[in-house]
């Protein structure tokens, strides 16, 4: 792929993602659909996906960003269901899909069939999480889906490497040494990710410069992945653990770092996700070869159904057997209900990892073309079939979270307590160093207003509340100040550097006003 082609692809992907946002559609699904349609245009250049580039430059930052935004405490509380999905279901999918493919495709060895199973084993929760967030799925469901997507890539890629080694005859593979290799890879990735997370957090707490701290954070996913892979352990799991640790401890870091990292990683996510899902759709011409017959096409469709079905077969026993067998599980975990289990079962869309792993299959592996084609059909099939119907299923089953009211109540209580503590600290500071009365009164009013705003959000009054009136009127004032400073810059009364400094202050205040709504 030439640089011009890549630039056009990035621009087109962002344009499609922008359209999806405006129409309130799922951006990943629209990108795949548009990519598929564009791939049939005569003369369209081949957009080949370099697997090493995807695994190094795309997967680590996406996983790291997702880990930063994830809740370590929620994942820890749901570690059992996440583990059953990210390890148990991945290996079960690899085995079932492998055996079925070996049985249906003449000449495909069992080892090569297991390679296909490993490729399509890990779901990508990007599309599912975006749909679930928009439709208000319960928080525990969202945690399980996000936690599964963070960990299943590591188990799938480890199993993939073992299967490829067996299929190509590059290493002697047995069940025993496969299990040992899997455990060593996972534990090694966890250790490296944790150690690097601790070291990076310690360094960033002592830098004291938001720009440098953010720059260091940008290196973490790539450095963590490369270091872990260089010692032959799971780079994916290392990146996830490092991101979870740093995200959990980010409230203790500086405010400038948090503001900058949030904006930077959201932009990176949008760019990379748009690129990857567009590439998935554009890959169709490259996977259709002379070996792909009608029989292989029907087999791929059957494997798509098997891949979807095995998740259902796994989900219900994995959900209810632990509850039936262990009293502590029943006491600690709320019953998700069959509707919630169905939604999680249907939210098994495949994505970037499956296509990157498929592209990484060595050219000398027997049956490679058939494995590539089946992996593509399964990936795109799950994205379009499950992705397009998941919102309808969620609405029909009425699966919605009820955390909003309890969240607002908890926030209001803590905000009230925080306002009281802040006023106490204010009084102590005044006793140490006197301040003008009007400044003290303004600060007291601000604390009172912030404390009341959370209670007002809880009540959602029909008439405009004092805090809402304050936000509305203050926005009018901020916009007026901004216009005056811009006009002064244009009239050469102030320098651009002065304007940028003032605009940052006004932008931060406007962002705070938007957050308080």
Do residues 277 and 32 lie in contact, with contact meaning Cβ atoms separated by under 8 Å?
A: yes
**Above 60 in pLDDT, residue 460?**
no
- Segment 113-120 mean pLDDT: 94
Confidence band for 304, pLDDT divided at 50, 70 and 90: very high
- Of 290-304, 314-328, 374-388, 465-479, which gets the smallest average pLDDT? 465-479
Do residues 235 and 189 lie in contact, with contact meaning Cβ atoms separated by under 8 Å?
A: yes
Please name the residue that has the structure tokens 């009341």.
Answer: 452
**Above 80 in pLDDT, residue 458?**
no
Q: Which of 319, 317, 324, 407 is nearest to 78 (CA)?
A: 319
Do residues 284 and 39 lie in contact, with contact meaning Cβ atoms separated by under 8 Å?
A: yes
Q: Which of 243, 236, 313, 241 is nearest to 60 (CA)?
A: 236
The dihedral over CA atoms of 203, 207, 208, 209, expressed in degrees to the nearest 10, equals -120
pLDDT at 201: 92
pLDDT at 226: 94
**Above 80 in pLDDT, residue 54?**
no
* Per-residue tokens: 234: 């799971």
Distance in angstroms (rounded) separating the CA atoms of residues 418 and 450: 9
- Of 73-87, 134-148, 231-245, 393-407, which gets the smallest average pLDDT? 393-407
Distance in angstroms (rounded) separating the CA atoms of residues 160 and 114: 8
- Segment 477-497 mean pLDDT: 87
Q: Which residue has the higher pLDDT, 269 or 224?
A: 224
Q: What is the pLDDT of residues 417-426, one digit of tens each?
A: 787 888 888 8
- Segment 31-54 mean pLDDT: 78
Do residues 237 and 154 lie in contact, with contact meaning Cβ atoms separated by under 8 Å?
A: yes
The secondary structure of the chain in percent helix, strand, coil, rounded to multiples of 5, reads 80, 0, 20
pLDDT at 312: 94
pLDDT at 434: 77
Q: 418, exposed or middle or buried, with CB in 10 Å at 0-12, 13-18, 19+?
A: middle
**Average pLDDT across the chain, whole number:** 84
Please state the pTM of the whole predicted model: 0.81
pLDDT at 404: 66
* Per-residue tokens: 255: 């405010």
**Above 80 in pLDDT, residue 289?**
no
**Above 70 in pLDDT, residue 453?**
no
pLDDT at 517: 60
Confidence band for 457, pLDDT divided at 50, 70 and 90: low
**Above 80 in pLDDT, residue 100?**
yes
Q: Which residue has the higher pLDDT, 380 or 258?
A: 380
Segments in 169-209 forming alpha helices (H) = 175-207
**Above 70 in pLDDT, residue 290?**
no
Confidence band for 52, pLDDT divided at 50, 70 and 90: confident
Between the two ends of the chain, the Cα-to-Cα distance in Å is 45
Confidence band for 62, pLDDT divided at 50, 70 and 90: confident
Q: What is the pLDDT of residues 72-91, one digit of tens each?
A: 888 888 888 899 999 999 99
């Amino acid at each position: 792929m030439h640089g011009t082609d890549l630039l056009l692809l990035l621009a087109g992907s962002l344009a499609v993602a922008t359209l999806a946002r405006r129409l309130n559609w799922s951006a990943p699904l629209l990108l795949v659909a548009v990519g598929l349609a564009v791939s049939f245009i005569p003369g369209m250049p081949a957009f080949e996906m370099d697997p090493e580039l995807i695994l190094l430059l795309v997967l680590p930052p996406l996983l790291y960003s997702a880990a930063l935004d994830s809740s370590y405490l929620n994942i820890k509380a749901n570690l059992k269901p996440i583990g059953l999905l990210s390890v148990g279901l991945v290996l079960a999918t690899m085995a079932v899909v492998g055996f079925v493919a070996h049985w249906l495709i003449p000449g495909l060895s069992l080892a090569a069939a297991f390679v296909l199973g490993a490729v399509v084993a890990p779901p990508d929760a990007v599309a599912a999480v975006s749909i679930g967030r928009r439709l208000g799925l319960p928080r525990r469901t969202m945690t399980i889906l996000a936690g599964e997507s963070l960990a299943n890539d590591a188990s799938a890629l480890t199993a993939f490497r073992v299967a490829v080694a067996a299929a190509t005859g590059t290493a002697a593979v047995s069940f025993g040494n496969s299990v040992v290799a899997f455990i060593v890879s996972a534990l090694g990735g966890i250790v490296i990710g944790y150690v690097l997370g601790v070291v990076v957090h310690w360094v960033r707490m002592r830098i004291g410069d938001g720009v440098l701290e953010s720059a260091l954070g940008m290196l973490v996913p790539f450095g963590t992945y490369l270091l872990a892979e260089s010692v032959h352990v799971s780079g994916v799991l290392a990146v996830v653990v490092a991101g979870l640790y740093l995200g959990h401890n980010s409230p203790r870091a500086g405010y400038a770092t948090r503001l900058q990292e949030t904006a930077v990683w959201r932009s990176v996510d949008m760019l990379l996700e748009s690129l990857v899902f567009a590439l998935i759709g554009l890959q169709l011409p490259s996977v259709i070869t002379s070996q792909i017959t009608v029989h292989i096409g029907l087999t791929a469709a059957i494997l798509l159904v098997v891949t979807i079905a095995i998740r259902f077969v796994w989900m219900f026993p994995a959900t209810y057997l632990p509850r039936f067998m262990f009293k502590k599980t029943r006491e600690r975990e709320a019953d998700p209900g069959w509707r919630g289990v169905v939604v999680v079962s249907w939210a098994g869309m495949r994505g970037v990892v499956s296509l990157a792993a498929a592209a990484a299959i060595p050219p000398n592996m027997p049956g490679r073309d058939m494995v590539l084609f089946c992996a593509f059909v399964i990936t795109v099939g799950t994205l379009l079939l499950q992705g397009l119907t998941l919102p309808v299923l969620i609405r029909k089953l009425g699966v919605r979270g009820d955390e909003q009211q309890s969240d607002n109540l908890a926030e209001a209580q803590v905000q009230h307590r925080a306002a009281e503590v802040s006023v106490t600290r204010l009084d102590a500071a005044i006793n140490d160093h006197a301040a003008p009365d009007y400044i003290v009164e303004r600060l007291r009013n601000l604390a009172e207003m912030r404390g009341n705003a959370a209670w007002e959000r809880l009540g959602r009054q029909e008439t405009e509340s004092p805090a809402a009136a304050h936000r509305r009127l203050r926005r009018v004032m901020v916009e007026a100040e901004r216009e005056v400073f811009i006009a002064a810059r244009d009239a050469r009364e102030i320098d651009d550097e002065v304007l940028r400094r003032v605009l940052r202050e006004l932008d931060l205040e406007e962002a705070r006003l938007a957050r308080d709504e």
